[in-house]
């Protein structure tokens, strides 16, 4: 008769292997969805930002001042994020993914002005730098044995702080505030990249035993949204330092 402990250990080993394989598939889904979202954002931003006729709908090409539609486009992604969080439980996995791509398109519209303000080369250069930094931070968050869950509340408070400061500075136009917000923004979203990556991994491992396919798909989309937001914000704040203005 086979030893019971040996059988149990073998079953545990098979189960662990299944969870590891599932985790890899889950992370691939997260990064794949995020990458498609970034592509949608880039295409929309480029199409609008490089077309004088389209960009003039949202900004005065000469002065750079926003029109009423420009203000709507700027705040649209923020409103969609809150709506997405509230509706995620009522949406199907396919509906959540479609909403994410619509959000990515809205984000592209809201940041299309960068092609009016910065050279195309510096935008591409900043994107490459952001990609390298993001990949490194996300890899560290995934592989580190250190529990960084305690960073969450501090980082979220930081996001709220820079959001409020940015809105206030729209009206004040202070270079000093803009510089401080950019520095803090880079640091905060660098931290969030590692934090969100570890959280996605931990959440999967905590729910892997249930193997709820609907939950897994929605979780992957929410994870993609979080990492997408980290990437976009890191890119935008780095662009303030690395971008060459037109």
With 90 as the cut, is the pLDDT of residue 237 above it?
yes
Rounded Cα gap, residues 219 and 230, in angstroms: 17
Query: Quick one: average pLDDT of 51-73?
Result: 82
Question: What is the value of pTM for the model shown?
Answer: 0.86
What pLDDT sits at residue 23?
87
Task: Name the percent of the chain lying above pLDDT 90.
Answer: 44
Indicate the DSSP class of residue 88.
T
With 80 as the cut, is the pLDDT of residue 109 above it?
yes
> What digits encode the pLDDT tens for the residues 165-191?
888 887 888 888 888 888 999 999 999
What pLDDT sits at residue 4?
34
Of 74, 73, 77, the closest CA to residue 99 belongs to: 77
Domain that holds residue 51: 4-242
With 70 as the cut, is the pLDDT of residue 195 above it?
yes
Query: Quick one: average pLDDT of 97-101?
Result: 93
Rounded Cα gap, residues 137 and 204, in angstroms: 19
With 60 as the cut, is the pLDDT of residue 7 above it?
no
Length of the chain as a residue count: 246
* Contacts for 66 with CB less than 8 Å, ≥ 6 apart: 58, 59, 60, 74
Structure tokens, 93: 């996995």
> What digits encode the pLDDT tens for the residues 20-59?
788 888 999 999 999 999 999 999 999 998 888 888 888 7
8 pLDDT tier (thresholds 50, 70, 90): very low
What pLDDT sits at residue 17?
62
With 70 as the cut, is the pLDDT of residue 12 above it?
no
- Give the chain's mean pLDDT: 85
β partners of residue 118? 245
> What digits encode the pLDDT tens for the residues 73-84?
888 888 888 888
Rounded Cα gap, residues 138 and 119, in angstroms: 28
- Cα separations (Å) of 109 from 50, 97, 168, 236? 12, 19, 22, 14
Query: Quick one: average pLDDT of 197-223?
Result: 82
Structure tokens, 114: 């960068």
Rounded Cα gap, residues 126 and 217, in angstroms: 31
The tally of domains found in the chain comes to: 1
């Amino acid at each position: 008769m086979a030893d019971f402990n040996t059988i149990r250990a073998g079953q545990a080993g098979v189960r662990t292997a299944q969870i590891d394989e599932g985790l890899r598939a889950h992370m691939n889904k997260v990064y794949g969805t995020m990458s498609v979202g970034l592509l949608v954002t880039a295409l929309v931003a480029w199409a609008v930002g490089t077309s004088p006729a389209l960009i003039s709908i949202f900004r005065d090409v000469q002065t750079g001042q926003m029109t009423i539609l420009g203000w709507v486009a700027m705040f649209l992604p923020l409103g969609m994020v809150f709506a997405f969080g509230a509706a995620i439980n009522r949406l199907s996995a396919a509906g959540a993914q479609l909403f994410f791509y619509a959000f990515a398109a809205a984000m592209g519209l809201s940041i299309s002005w960068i092609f009016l303000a910065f050279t195309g080369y510096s935008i591409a250069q900043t994107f490459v730098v952001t990609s390298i930094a993001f990949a490194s931070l996300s890899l560290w968050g995934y592989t580190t044995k250190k529990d960084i869950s305690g960073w969450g509340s501090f980082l979220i408070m930081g996001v709220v702080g820079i959001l409020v400061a940015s809105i206030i500075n729209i009206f004040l136009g202070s270079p000093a505030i803009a510089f401080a917000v950019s520095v803090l923004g880079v640091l905060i979203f660098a931290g969030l990249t590692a934090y969100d990556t570890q959280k996605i991994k931990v959440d999967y491992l905590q729910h892997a035993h249930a193997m709820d396919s609907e939950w897994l798909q929605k979780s992957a989309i929410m994870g993609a949204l979080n990492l997408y937001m980290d990437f976009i914000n890191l890119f935008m704040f780095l662009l303030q330092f690395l971008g060459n203005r037109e």
